[in-house]
Structure 1
Amino acid sequence: MARDIRLEQRGKTGVRNMGKLLAGVLIFFIMLYAVVPEIATRIIGVGALRKGRLRKEIALTFDDGPDPYYTPRLLDLLKKHNIKATFFIVGAKAEKHPDIIKRIQREGHLIGIHNYVHRANWFMNPWRLWQQIHYSADVIEQITGQRPVHYRPPWGLFTIFDFILGQKFSFVLWSVMVGDWRSRIGRDALRKKILTQLHDGCVIVLHDSGETFGADRDAPMHMLEALEDVLQAISKQPYKFVLIDEIMKHA
């Protein structure tokens, strides 16, 4: 009987040890898959552009579009102030609104990709991730005749496979984010946040669609109102708006 008890205890110990081993393997995989790329890109600044180096240069970037209501109004505003921007496009939306994509290109803006659907890369396997990146690029190329080379993942969340599967793309993050996807912030607060965070070589991310998870549908309207104020204020300062590819030349 004592022998049976010892065997049972050894069995339980073996199960616990196996559980610890599996937990360790899982933690290691999570660290390698998501945490290490996050530290590398956001903290160390390796692998993805966050800001430029030249004085008095600003890159305006917009995520989550195109939106049939807000994006044309944004383009009108940029045209009014003679400013070029970079748009990180959701592929599925581009398929629905090719005319907006053509207008973005025609008016001299730069187009990058933001996945085919707005889904975090952390929750996709490598094959699905490859599809998201390359199919989005295919969609943009079919519409514009030019294949995009700049990529920003939804929520800026990279995985180790982004760097393996997206080697033909340059990765872009931001140095100024003001929470414009929430309508409660409002025009005045957005304007103040943007103006107080301006710095040499800054990459500003704003959103021209409110349809993504966690966003408010009418939030882009407040963004447009605040952006109008910001552009008027900046016009009195020696800042120059540039595209992401210009920022990257000196990054």
Structure 2
Amino acid sequence: MLWIVLFAGVMILYGIVPTVLIRKTNFRIYRKGTQPGMIALTFDDGPDPYYTPRLLDLLKKHQVKATFFVVGKKAKQYPYIVKRMHDEGHEIGMHNYRHISNWFIFPPFLEKGLQKSADIIEQIVGTRPMYYRPPWGHFNLFTPFLQKKYSTVMWTDILGDWNAKIGTMELFNRLKNSLKDGAVIVLHDSGKTFGADELAPEQMLSALELLLKEEEAKNMRWVTITDLLNEQTNKQISSI
């Protein structure tokens, strides 16, 4: 019984408290743009050999640029998909080497995993990733030090698309409601992670296709995180 109490106490201090504080204070976090009409569409948990190529086809069809936060181990398994992302003008960030919460990773392993992921991505596309999104948005006591090396990107809207019970039309409605200036929207192009439904990306693709056919969506500028950041920086400079 004592070890359970000790474990819970360590978990609270190491993971839960830092997560709450970092997210509440937005400490070294980027989560929203400021420019009217601009939206960053982001995808976590891939690449997936079945769903990600179909997603890339859809984005290409509608001339939408996105940012992919890839799992390092999957990037190593499917380098041709990561290369295609890059070649088609999408941006690539990191989502840990394995899809594990930072609450359960000790500092040396977290840093080593991100280093390994960055090396893999650089070998595939020739440029080193600048952006990081922790799985489930979980931080720990050590992640503020890593945030000096990588820009941490969170979100304005996370829509629960990993749950297949939501259904295509409900997800479509959630997507429509997320169309706000400067929004950073999270979707998932793989269902093979803990807590996700394996077939959930199927309805994500259907809902996203419905959205991109909407006139309101066509009038938005779908940009990468770098584009969203650059527009914000340029606006700040021009106002000086």
TM-score (norm 1): 0.85
Residues 1:236 and 1:147: Cα distance change in structure 2 (over 3 Å): closer
CA distance in 2 between counterparts of 1:212 and 1:231 reads: 26
Q: For residue 68 of structure 1, what is the aligned residue in structure 2?
A: 49
| Rg (Cα) greater in structure | 1
* Residue equivalent to 1:239: 220
The 5 Å alignment of 1:41-52 reads 41-52=22-33
Q: Point out 4+ residue stretches in structure 1 off by more than 6 angstroms.
A: none
Report the residue type matching 1:66 in the other structure: P
Match of 2:146 among 161, 165, 174: 165
**Deviation for aligned residue 1:140:** 0.5
1:137-175, Cα deviation, whole Å (9 max, x unpaired): 111011111110100011111112112134221000111
Determine if the alignment matches structure 1 residue 105 to structure 2 residue 86. Answer: yes
Structure 2 residue matching 1:87: 3-state secondary structure: strand
Contact 1:133–1:166 (CA<8 Å) still a contact in 2? no
Task: Give the counterpart letter for 1:133 in structure 2.
Answer: L
The offset of 1:46, in angstroms, is 2.4
Q: Does 1:92 align with 2:95?
A: no
One-letter amino acid of the structure 2 residue matched with residue 110 of structure 1:
E
Deviation at 1:37, TM superposition (A): 3.0
**Number of paired residues?**
229
Where do 1:202-217 residues align within 5 Å? 202-217=183-198
Alpha-carbon distance between aligned partners in 1 of 2:109 and 2:160, rounded to the nearest angstrom: 28
8 Å Cα contact 1:176-1:198 kept in structure 2: no
Within 2, Cα distance between the matches of 1:175 and 1:85?
15
SS at structure 2 position matched to 1:158 = coil
Is structure 2 residue 89 aligned with structure 1 residue 133?
no
Q: Give, in whole Å, the separation in 2 of the partners of 1:44 and 1:35.
A: 14
Which letter does structure 2 place at the counterpart of 1:87? F
Seq. identity, %: 50
The one-letter code matched in structure 2 to 1:79 is K
**What's the RMSD between the two structures over aligned residues?**
2.0
| CA distance in 1 between partners of 2:125 and 2:177 (Å) | 36
User: Normalising to structure 2: TM-score of the pair?
Assistant: 0.89
The change in CA–CA distance for 1:171 and 1:234 in structure 2 (over 3 A counts) is farther
Matched letter for residue 45 of structure 2: D
Tell me the CA shift for residue 247 of structure 1: 1.8
Q: Is the 8 A contact 1:40 1:47 kept in 2?
A: no
State how far apart, in whole Å, the 1-side matches of 2:188 and 2:65 are. 15
Are 2:164 and 1:186 aligned? no
Query: Which moved further from structure 2: 140-149 or 230-239?
Result: 230-239
The structural deviation recorded for 1:38 is 1.9
C-alpha distance after superposition, 1:87-116 (max 9, x if no partner): 000011111111001100000000000011
Which amino acid in structure 1 is aligned with residue 96 of structure 2? Answer: N
Give the structure 2 partner of residue 37 of structure 1.
Answer: 18
**AA aligned opposite 1:175:** T
Partner of 1:176: 157
Assess if the C-alpha contact under 8 Å between 2:179 and 2:217 holds in 1: no
SS in 2 for 1:160: coil
**Cα distance in 2, alignment partners of residues 236 and 32 from structure 1:** 42
Gaps of 5+ in 1: 1-18
Distance across 2 between alignment mates of 1:237 and 1:209: 25
